[in-house]
Amino acid sequence: MAGIPELQPGAEVPMRLMSEGTQYEKGDIIVFYQNEVKIVHRVEHVYTFNGETFYVTEGVNPETNPLVDISPVSGKDIIGIVDLSAEAFITIEEILKNRFVPFSTAYGMPSSTQEKPLKYLSYFKRAQELVNFFSKGIKPQSLTDREARLWYLRQEYKMRDMLDHSLSLKLQAVQAFYLRNCLRTRARELMKDQKLAEFLEKTEKNKIWDDFVKHTENKGYKGVGIWREIIESSMRSRQDVNDDLEISGWEVCNRWWKYFKIG
């Protein structure tokens, strides 16, 4: 692979130091260091997990760093590059292991490479893998509002079959919870109307697990009833939205509907 001229070994890349607590967005290019070697990644997805913000990144300079992913961006995308500085050090091994770069302290990065393992991270990652599979082949920002909603509903309809029923009811609830969060995020990424998607991202944010458990308890559910309700609510969409888009239940469950290619 020829690589990107701006990111060849020894190339100078314009950067700026970001202040503590900076929140990055999809498409931002970040720079940090591994043994004084500049590592360049592009933010592909942004997620909230247990109250913390995580960035799924993609390596963009494999010539310099052969261990990172080999999916370069084009020269026209090399904008808004930021320098997270040597103080923002994080090991490349952690990125290779999880592809999640946690941003929390100085310059948006952890002050220590010893991160406390996140609760239920494996279930979140599995949910993301399933969503990636079911959206494979659909270009981002390519669906109408109706098509994106129909895609979401079809995955929601199949959710019960996605759960591992050998697990405890609580862990099945965890699975369903993160599947719904990931499906909502992906459906918004697939929408052509990104202004509406951004509005929904701000006004109807994905829930945090611990907060949602408390919310369910406050509704009067107890014991295993909490986990049953979380599972059911994760597969229960807003009917008023479906009605506004004139989507019928038959369209959702009929695999031979004309929109089957997006579901």
Single residue among 83, 108, 133 that ends a domain in this structure: 108
Residue 17 sits in the same domain as residue 133: no
CA–CA dist 105, 89 (Å, integer): 12
For residues 248 and 170, state if they share a domain: yes
Helix-strand-coil split of the chain, %, nearest 5: 45, 15, 40
Residue closest to 188 by CA, chosen among 175, 210, 174, 203: 203
Residue 217 lies in a domain: yes
User: Which pLDDT belongs to residue 172?
Assistant: 94
Residue 173: the pLDDT is 94
pLDDT of residue 176: 94
Q: How many independent structural domains does the chain possess?
A: 2
In degrees, rounded to 5, the angle at the alpha carbon of residue 165 between the alpha carbons of residues 210 and 228 is 45
Instruction: Report yes or no: 124 and 131 within 8 Å, Cβ to Cβ.
Output: no
Reading the chain (263 residues) residue by residue, the pLDDT tens digits are 223 333 443 444 444 555 445 566 666 666 654 444 455 666 666 666 556 566 555 554 444 333 333 333 333 333 333 333 333 333 333 433 443 333 322 222 332 333 333 467 778 778 878 888 888 888 888 889 888 888 988 888 888 888 988 889 999 999 999 999 889 888 988 888 888 888 887 788 888 888 899 999 999 999 999 999 999 999 988 878 777 777 766 666 654 343 344 44
Q: Which domain holds residue 212?
A: 121-262
Tell me the HSE value of 95 on the side-chain side, using a 13 A CA sphere: 24
Q: What does the pLDDT read at residue 89?
A: 30
Residue at token pair 């040597």: 86
> Does 94 lie in the same domain as 183?
no
What CA–CA distance (Å, rounded) separates 78 from 179? 33
| In a shared domain, residues 41 and 96 | yes
Q: Is residue 113 part of a domain?
A: no
Q: What is residue 185's predicted lDDT score, i.e. its pLDDT?
A: 86
| Residue 37 sits in the same domain as residue 152 | no
